[in-house]
Every structure is written in C-alpha cells, then in structure tokens.
Amino acid sequence: MMVLKMVKISDLKIIGDDKVTAIGMGTWGIGGYESPDYSRDEENVEVLRYGLELGINLIDTAEFYGAGHSEELVGRAIEGFDRDELFIISKVWPTNFGYERAKRAVRASAKRLGTYIDLYLLHWPGTEWRKIEETLHALEELVDEGLIRYIGVSNFDLELLKRSQEAMRKYEIVANEVKYSLRDRWPETSGLLDYMKKEKIALIAYTPLEKGSLARNPCLAEIGRKYGKSAAQVALNYLIWEENVIAIPKAGRKEHVEENAGAMGWRLSREDRERARGCV
C-alpha cells in the first residue's frame, strides 16, 4: 500500500486485527442511489483509484447503493492494487436478513466486487430480532468459508449492539457504522462511543461532514487556519481524534478525496477540539 507521507501511526486504526486509515472513502450515491446510475462510471472509478493511490486503504459500500452498482464500481477501482493491503466494507439490507437470504446477498456482493469482503455489516436493524440473529449466524458461517473476514453492524444503538454481541456464537462484532459528526454527537452523549472504546469495537462515522455543511462553517475555518487546514479537515480531525473512530466522507471528487486525506497526520489540541464543539 502506498501510504500518505502525512499519515502517522496514530492515523492507522484497528478493525479486527487489521490496520486501516483513519479516513476511508464512502460510496453512497456513487453509481446511483436506490437505482443504478451509469452516467459517471469512469469518473467515479478514477476518483476511487486516486484515493487508493494517495494511500487511503478503506472503501465503504453496500448492496443497497445503486442497487449493487456501487459495489461493481468498487470492484473495478481496486483492480491492479494489492488486495491484501485494502479493506473493503459492504452491507446487507434488511430485506435480505435471514439465514439463507443473507448468504445469497453476501455471495452476490462478493461477485459484484470480484473479491472477498473484509467487513460485512447489517445495514440497519430492521424490525425482527429473529432475522437479525439468523443473519449474524449465517455471517459467522461465511467467515469460516472465507467469503467475509469480519462481522459488524450499522445504525445499532447501544442496547441492540450489546444484544448482537451476546448472540454471536463464534466470532465478535468488530465494528458499528453510525451517523456521527460535530453536529450530531449522539454516540458521545448516548454512551455508545465510550462502550465501543472499552470493547475495542471500531466506530465508523458516516455523514461526517453533514453533506458538506461543516465544510462551509466559518468558525471551523477559523480554527483550521491555525493548523493550515480547512473547515472540513477540522471537522474530520475532530472525529478521528478518538482512538477507535474512522470517518468515511463521500469520495465524490478528486479534490474532495485529497482534502479528506489531509485531515490525517496531525491533531487538534484538546482546547481547539473543545472549541470546535461550540462552532455548531
């Protein structure tokens, strides 16, 4: 893996037994939203490859994104890179929960990606605990088969995360992907973040820039000037300051990916981090 010169050891986080960059690339809307969009395929692949060339080694996708087309684009983007140096996350939608359906969903995702999946998540809790439990047990069997390497959840609150941990028979829940940003700090106030730190579970923060609004925050921009950084980089650094937090801003354009990467390799002071909270 080509690692950014600016990346320090503190910006390599742990998922399971693997080291990943503290900033990954999110792909919601890349290749379409709830249906495929082929209009920017070449550009999307090029942007993802650019991020990999910079040294970002984590890509987050899902079967729901573009009805699977996002996974296909990720599969194209990683061609030619050392697969063992990359970390690919995908997710199963609640309509595919259940023992057999989940297994079929994983196999379909792996086929679209053209590779095994490092971390496979339950995308949303759904409404039936029985289906969640069946899905977790199915994923454990797929770890044994080598189709996936780790199991996680997404959008699970503290109570449901604990219940999911208790349901595991053989492996552990290694990650929970949730909405987390300077504007939406519920993982901090709910006790979820502290619990996940204690349990050594990675917290993967999606929508970390609040769809770009934090990148336009003048107060964050003022803090950033002290470090030679942008408002967006301050907002991302606030999150990865926590030892178990990984942020996955959308990899929409090359300049955004490069700016996102620049959120690594430095740290806000404790005082400036507290000040950033007051900016939103």
Domain locations in the chain as residue ranges? 17-210+244-252
Distance CA 4, CA 1 (A): 9
Q: How many helices (H) and strands (E) does the chain have?
A: 11, 10
Nearest CA among 35, 42, 26, 23 for reference residue 68 = 35
- Please pick, among 65, 150, 180, 206, the residue that the annotation labels catalytic: 65
Exposed / middle / buried, residue 100 (Cβ in 10 Å: 0-12, 13-18, 19+): exposed
Give the model's pLDDT for residue 127. 87
Pair type for strands 18-21 and 12-15: antiparallel
Give the model's pLDDT for residue 1. 40
Which residue type does 250 have? K
Helix axes 218-225, 231-240, angle to 10 degrees: 80
Q: What is the CATH superfamily name and number for domain 17-210+244-252?
A: NADP-dependent oxidoreductase domain (3.20.20.100)
Regions of the chain short of the pLDDT cut 70? 1-10
Q: Tell me: the pLDDT tens digits for 36-76?
A: 999 999 999 999 999 999 999 999 999 999 999 999 999 99
Total-model pTM = 0.96
Distance CA 138, CA 117 (A): 15
Give the model's pLDDT for residue 4. 47
Asked if 65 is an active-site residue, the reply is yes
- Give residue 126's region: left, alpha or beta (phi > 0; psi -120 to 50): left
Distance CA 107, CA 60 (A): 17
